[in-house]
Structure 1
């Protein structure tokens, strides 16, 4: 591993707050360490000469430790960590609660703890942590009741209780782990740090975890992208139904809640997101022990017609497909299977099949070059020995080098066979749909591992000009900008129609005369968001009607909202919306992941249709292009029903330029370009609105 290697492989562990008092956390940690740890354990407590027969030192500075586990009360825990840092201890686990999770006083203590960790460059887990484990050296530095069995999965969790429950269950199931970490409050080390560490660890085959939140989303994406090239990451994230705590004023903000940010961030990071604990371990076990399939085509070999149909349905609901057998395979099945059997996929070898028939059918299916993976699906019969079938399944998986899932349905009679399969890294599932879902995780990871990531394009832009426009919110009662900020887009190379904002009907006429053809006129007010709803937009205004149109727009705005700030009227070149496609490009700044870009079908129906896709900015050209291809109405951009295709390259570049803008200016909280009109001849931003935090400028 990298910088955290000594955290999991210390030679000497100091327990600060060790005690022999029954029922105490300090005693539980001592018991766990003394029982199996291959290194030395040093109890630290000025009130004892020894603990559990081990010599006790009064101060952590006397322990000469590689790792300090702190269990003293919160009021003295920070000082204990400081003493560890002064003594040269680089790795610290703070079990103690009573920090950021408890209110203002606890939050202050946590800040102090972080400052100490920064001062001494500590690898600090917690506070409020159950502790950590590492099975290669038998280290259980937790106060949980169970130790982990050895394995190749490394597991992190924000919930210590979840760890104890998982270990209790996993030990019964024969599921093992390399390292286990209770993240606690993540004052210093967080999920990104452990992802990086386990990505460098040759003994970790899969990273799994339970998370309740991610504080530094972009850092997590960057870390996971590197790791998932070689090591799968499977996570459960709670809070799926939380659509965001803050009301949003823009289209993008309305659609893009925090759950959308996690979905998008995990996808960009290459993380496989599990919807349940069962799915987490089903996927992880498959990924930890099976080769990646060369294709998505599944063969199902079964002695039961009904479950075979269930597995076919499950394949149809996944990203996999039922394999089409070669003529040679079909001929072999026709010659070897009973007439009442089915030679097509799923292969039904009939209920009276013995072990020899099962073995031969699975061998034939796996030998077919059209088969990427296989499911062995069986129901108990008097002529079938499940343990022998398990051994055959293991042998044939090794022979053909293709991933195999097992679905041996039944109760106690399955136990011995399941143990044989588990020992060989082949999970057994009672439900065929679970087996297919686990196989689908292999497909998903194969695609993730094969991804190419590009650096975002850095465009030549006018940052200072953009900053000046954003600064215009200072001194205003409202921090929103509308069409008066069109020059902001121009500063970042996003094309806009010709036009100006004027504050008199006479000036409106002057501007209109300089524009060829009829114009569009819009009321400019940060207080009136949906201008078209109040008649605040006039389209196709001829030169002779501009004066009256100006007066009418201002009157409508005053009548609608007398106290609204009216900044004037925008007189703008008219864009032929019928000649192109109205799209939307927007951004909502997520508290965890930062700028969340949205692209989709725009115009007045954006919130109704919600034909949108998302990425965390900054995005590369490849990612921007993928966004234009993912929406359901993408055929409109390519040209549909005889229409010419739009300038998709212009759309892709506009997404990238907006990505750069919102990445450059964290002060932009929300931004919508709607519509962004894409025509065969180019792309232009017709309207914009944004919300700015002046304190971030």
Structure 2
């Protein structure tokens, strides 16, 4: 991406001197923006443009430009891109619209552009875009007039119109940007590419997205999960409503996915979603100018009671109250304020508050650690100049440790005061509601960051999965040309993955039903079995509490008649009989469905006949661990009941977590399952029973294609081995649950070993560091641990990993072996396994930096075929291996 933001030379293809022409605007913006490199106009009909020599083609430019902007009609783009490839241009921006968003003809042009660039390594932004800006290097490669101020926010937008609105609004609010990119149709460069790039740029504090659709969801989620650990990503995703989704599809040429699934995906990736452009700005300004809150304890300081109530009401929308005032703070405020002050939060310092009263109240509020944020509200009044209060706030806020933001309510009397606050990086909002919502979005990111660093606990029991049984069931169904498994077959699939079911038997005649019913103890349930009737209750296909032969006769007859009336052509397999579970405590639902964008999506919530009407559900993406499963459960309205509300029996939540994890693994293992309903799951005496289920199947054409948007644990890479010293070793990819083992490994290290690995003194591992090592993205990182299982419990002896760069061609390795096990050959085995996997994935170069005194690692590198050269720092060596030629 570097050629788009820090190029030494830029060619403008289609440059001209015509007023109001895009080629003219691009030239003006580069020149007037102060671009220090070489600007090269390309237009065969002009000898010069803006007094600069013009070339007939980019192939005639020597040396070739690093970047080219194509400002000609899109029909000419394939041939121009081909010329750029011949010339050796590294990056191209295609401005013109008229691609896939206009239908088949435009899609064909985009295919021709892709074909022209294929295999060249040249990157393309667009088409149908505004271009890119990088204020720090004076690059304005857009047709939008004016360069924004330099700041720490990066913006990526699919819509050029939204880009223009953001730029205009930012200028009015004194908001600056580090990068500004309009990516249009994303023929090549997409959200994932840019998030990866911006995540590694230290000048970027937060990333803002305007999104209509995704072209590569797996790449996007992978990049976002990685970057959101270190900086916030805030997205405004259009197309929430069905009509809005259709509009987005027409505009961008790709169907937008179900909005709730986007919500689930953003949440899993640690992304904060906002519903409007106004809130995007409100949230971005606070992110750019203030520290992150550690909690939700908000203090509200106001000179008017009404605005304080408005702020309180907004907090209540999130289930929160203003933070309680500590006794010592309350005492100090009592000494300062008139006796009739509010004596609670919001802290109403009254309408006659002077500048001095504001200053002293602010000092008191900032002296405690019991607040996580401070909202300062001022309404205009004659006794106190608002600009003087603003100056006071800017002075006191210099020693801030919590986010401080303001609401200066009013019109022209507040203009100068707001300007003072803006220049001091104190965000100001027109209303208390907007201020509080911005703070809550900021807290949502802080909470997401905290959740990403939590270690998922292990289950009490290992889960067992009978994959062979499910495989046989699925492919027997394919041979019989059945794609909807009935209840009995669906339950067999669930049972194979450890999901407890209520046992059922098949009966095809009324006589068989009576016979089998007599073999089952207690009252029964009879249900219709038909591959053509998905919802049995619609066809009178469920009868409960059957106690004798007459009940069985009546139920069987009613079911057959109901099925015939509902669908005369329906195939009838018979009925199922199972014990009737009376007086269940709760009914739950879980299931999965294939989404066009994000692959399989898991669903959990309240169940039963009214599940769709109640609409108490939450979505999640596989794979799940205990922490993620618990989070899904906690997001439902039924969660308080499951915990034991009043006299109800609490559910064993670990059992529900297991259900979701078992469902997740089933969906991971079998992409042939495109839809599944397990409804209801009855909870009786705290234990779950799946009493009904249906599974929809579809043949998978390419079994090697990944069907998950988040890579699952690669269990097939587990292996048992012996080191060269005959040390038995269990080698497997690292898991999130390995954090305790990793801590134990760290405790075996001497200070020297720690320094060799971390290049600094590290006394303990923070939750963030633990998460960084153990909660990896298996798509972009290769990490293997060596375990000793001979001691009666798992013990981690060492870990090796390769962190891939965003292009997938290069990666950096590291090795860490516990001191008691140095010299056993463990490091060689682990790193060799990492290198083999990297080679299989097409990685070309693996490198690492090693301290010169770390002779063990230098020798290990030589043994495995690395070249060893002194680094830029004489105290370091750089080890490099070319996997194209390495024999591993």
Work out which of the residue numbers 672, 676, 687 in structure 2 matches 1:671: 676
Q: 1:384 to 1:18 in 2, by over 3 A?
A: same
Partner of residue 614, structure 1: 619
Unpaired runs of 5+ residues, structure 2, are 247-255, 704-888
Q: Which moved more, 1:342-351 or 1:522-531?
A: 342-351
Unpaired runs of 5+ residues, structure 1, are 247-255
Instruction: For residue 10 of structure 2, give the secondary structure of its aligned residue in structure 1.
Output: strand
Report the alpha carbon displacement of residue 133 of structure 1 after superposing the two structures with TM.
0.7
Partner of residue 51, structure 1: 49
Partner of residue 385, structure 1: 385
Q: 1:621 to 1:339 in 2, by over 3 A?
A: closer
Work out which of the residue numbers 561, 566, 577 in structure 2 matches 1:560: 566
1:32-181 matches, cutoff 5 A = 32-36=29-33, 37-63=35-61, 64-181=64-181
Partner of residue 295, structure 2: 295
Partner of residue 539, structure 1: 544
Work out which of the residue numbers 14, 18, 24 in structure 1 matches 2:15: 18
Structure 1, residues 478-528: CA drift from partner, whole Å, max 9, x if none? 843331433232333323333344544555466556645554332211222
* Correspondence 1:232 to 2:236: no
Partner of residue 371, structure 1: 371
Partner of residue 591, structure 1: 596
Report the alpha carbon displacement of residue 471 of structure 1 after superposing the two structures with TM.
4.5
Q: 1:117 to 1:506 in 2, by over 3 A?
A: farther
Is contact 2:539–2:559 with CA below 8 Å preserved after alignment? no
Instruction: For residue 321 of structure 1, give the secondary structure of its aligned residue in structure 2.
Output: coil
Q: 1:660 to 1:245 in 2, by over 3 A?
A: farther
Q: 1:579 to 1:586 in 2, by over 3 A?
A: same
Q: 1:384 to 1:559 in 2, by over 3 A?
A: closer
Q: 1:577 to 1:33 in 2, by over 3 A?
A: farther
Distance 2:354 2:658 in 1: 62
Partner of residue 461, structure 1: 465
Distance 1:681 1:123 in 2: 57
Instruction: For residue 450 of structure 1, give the secondary structure of its aligned residue in structure 2.
Output: helix
Report the alpha carbon displacement of residue 154 of structure 1 after superposing the two structures with TM.
0.7
Report the alpha carbon displacement of residue 329 of structure 1 after superposing the two structures with TM.
2.0
Structure 1, residues 560-586: CA drift from partner, whole Å, max 9, x if none? 322111123233x31514245321101
Partner of residue 480, structure 1: 484
* Correspondence 1:497 to 2:495: no
Partner of residue 569, structure 1: 575
Work out which of the residue numbers 4, 14, 34 in structure 2 matches 1:7: 4
Is contact 2:36–2:138 with CA below 8 Å preserved after alignment? yes
* Correspondence 1:632 to 2:630: no
Partner of residue 284, structure 1: 284
Higher relative contact order (CA 8 A, sep 6+): 1
Q: Which moved more, 1:289-298 or 1:199-208?
A: 289-298
Report the alpha carbon displacement of residue 662 of structure 1 after superposing the two structures with TM.
2.5
Q: 1:358 to 1:551 in 2, by over 3 A?
A: closer
Distance 2:476 2:241 in 1: 37
Is contact 1:272–1:445 with CA below 8 Å preserved after alignment? yes
Distance 2:66 2:23 in 1: 18
Partner of residue 447, structure 1: 447
Q: Which moved more, 1:416-425 or 1:309-318?
A: 309-318
Q: 1:351 to 1:675 in 2, by over 3 A?
A: closer
Is contact 1:580–1:646 with CA below 8 Å preserved after alignment? no
Partner of residue 863, structure 2: none
Q: 1:618 to 1:387 in 2, by over 3 A?
A: same
Q: Which moved more, 1:4-13 or 1:337-346?
A: 337-346
Structure 1, residues 454-481: CA drift from partner, whole Å, max 9, x if none? 7999965344543454446658888433
Q: 1:503 to 1:134 in 2, by over 3 A?
A: same
Report the alpha carbon displacement of residue 288 of structure 1 after superposing the two structures with TM.
1.0
Instruction: For residue 300 of structure 1, give the secondary structure of its aligned residue in structure 2.
Output: strand
Q: 1:314 to 1:533 in 2, by over 3 A?
A: closer
Is contact 2:375–2:404 with CA below 8 Å preserved after alignment? yes
Is contact 1:218–1:594 with CA below 8 Å preserved after alignment? no
Partner of residue 438, structure 1: 438
Distance 2:105 2:476 in 1: 39
Is contact 2:235–2:272 with CA below 8 Å preserved after alignment? yes
Is contact 2:520–2:579 with CA below 8 Å preserved after alignment? no
Distance 1:437 1:175 in 2: 19
Is contact 2:521–2:579 with CA below 8 Å preserved after alignment? no
Distance 1:309 1:505 in 2: 68
Distance 1:245 1:577 in 2: 44
Is contact 2:257–2:597 with CA below 8 Å preserved after alignment? no
Q: 1:60 to 1:574 in 2, by over 3 A?
A: farther
Q: 1:555 to 1:324 in 2, by over 3 A?
A: closer
Q: Which moved more, 1:141-150 or 1:503-512?
A: 503-512
Instruction: For residue 308 of structure 1, give the secondary structure of its aligned residue in structure 2.
Output: helix
Report the alpha carbon displacement of residue 364 of structure 1 after superposing the two structures with TM.
1.0
1:252-263 matches, cutoff 5 A = 258-263=258-263
Instruction: For residue 632 of structure 1, give the secondary structure of its aligned residue in structure 2.
Output: coil
Structure 1, residues 609-636: CA drift from partner, whole Å, max 9, x if none? 1222221233222111222232222233
Report the alpha carbon displacement of residue 600 of structure 1 after superposing the two structures with TM.
1.0
Distance 2:491 2:55 in 1: 68
Distance 2:643 2:257 in 1: 29
Is contact 1:135–1:179 with CA below 8 Å preserved after alignment? yes
Instruction: For residue 13 of structure 1, give the secondary structure of its aligned residue in structure 2.
Output: strand
Instruction: For residue 589 of structure 1, give the secondary structure of its aligned residue in structure 2.
Output: strand
Partner of residue 195, structure 2: 195
* Correspondence 1:623 to 2:628: yes
Q: Which moved more, 1:215-224 or 1:585-594?
A: 215-224
Partner of residue 830, structure 2: none
Distance 1:664 1:114 in 2: 34
Instruction: For residue 674 of structure 1, give the secondary structure of its aligned residue in structure 2.
Output: strand
Partner of residue 253, structure 1: none
Report the alpha carbon displacement of residue 188 of structure 1 after superposing the two structures with TM.
1.6
1:290-439 matches, cutoff 5 A = 290-318=290-318, 321-439=321-439
Q: 1:212 to 1:659 in 2, by over 3 A?
A: same
Is contact 2:583–2:684 with CA below 8 Å preserved after alignment? no
Q: 1:333 to 1:140 in 2, by over 3 A?
A: same
Distance 2:245 2:312 in 1: 41
* Correspondence 1:690 to 2:688: no
Distance 1:638 1:333 in 2: 41
* Correspondence 1:527 to 2:532: yes
Distance 2:206 2:535 in 1: 49
Q: 1:500 to 1:137 in 2, by over 3 A?
A: same
Instruction: For residue 421 of structure 1, give the secondary structure of its aligned residue in structure 2.
Output: helix
Is contact 2:650–2:686 with CA below 8 Å preserved after alignment? no
Partner of residue 772, structure 2: none
Work out which of the residue numbers 576, 583, 594 in structure 2 matches 1:578: 583
Is contact 1:498–1:515 with CA below 8 Å preserved after alignment? no
Partner of residue 650, structure 1: 655
Instruction: For residue 153 of structure 1, give the secondary structure of its aligned residue in structure 2.
Output: strand
Q: 1:575 to 1:84 in 2, by over 3 A?
A: farther
Report the alpha carbon displacement of residue 88 of structure 1 after superposing the two structures with TM.
2.9
